[in-house]
Amino acid sequence: MRDLIKVLQDKDEKKAYALLKEIRVKSAASENYYSYLDDFAGLLNAKNSYVRTRGFILCCAQARWDEKGKLQNVLPNMLTLLDDDKPTVVRQCLAALHEVVLFRLELCEPIKTELETIDLSKYKDSMSPLIKKDIDELLKMIDE
């Protein structure tokens, strides 16, 4: 288990990204990685934005298995990443939230509240419309 978290934080981005993709695929098929949810949540506080994003994505990937409501406890910390200075972090997190919205209806309201407070003005003109589009897609999913 320590090795798994260590690889997700590895300076070798290719290695860490490959593991992220592998865990995402396996998480869609089984709950084998659900027991790591707290460890994935621990990555949310990393200094490295790639590591924070990986933690966020992997937390979201466990949503379908979260019968114990663990995501509800880590959600406030997760949602702080939607205010990240790096627009790519925000976009990846918004995309990952689709899984939470699909499988954890009880978390839609706090997610929606957070989406409505995102300040697009801090991003470049080239990025803010893309983030706005991502937000609108997620809001549409929530409201359906």
Q: Print pLDDT tens along the chain (144 aa).
A: 558 999 999 889 999 999 999 999 999 999 999 999 999 999 999 999 999 999 999 999 999 999 999 999 999 999 999 999 999 999 999 999 999 999 999 999 999 999 999 999 999 999 999 999 999 999 999 998
Distance between CA atoms of 96 and 23, rounded to whole angstroms? Answer: 13
Number of compact structural domains in the chain: 1
Distance between CA atoms of 144 and 137, rounded to whole angstroms? Answer: 11
The CATH number linked to 86 is: 1.25.10
Domain that holds residue 46: 2-143
By the 8 A CB rule, do 55 and 37 touch? Answer: no
By the 10 Å C-beta count (0-12 exposed, 13-18 middle, 19+ buried), 96 is classed as buried
Distance between CA atoms of 39 and 62, rounded to whole angstroms? Answer: 12
Taking residue 56's Cβ as centre, other Cβ atoms within 10 Å add up to 27
Using the structure block, give the residue that is written with the tokens 């406890």: 73
pTM for the predicted model, two decimal places: 0.94
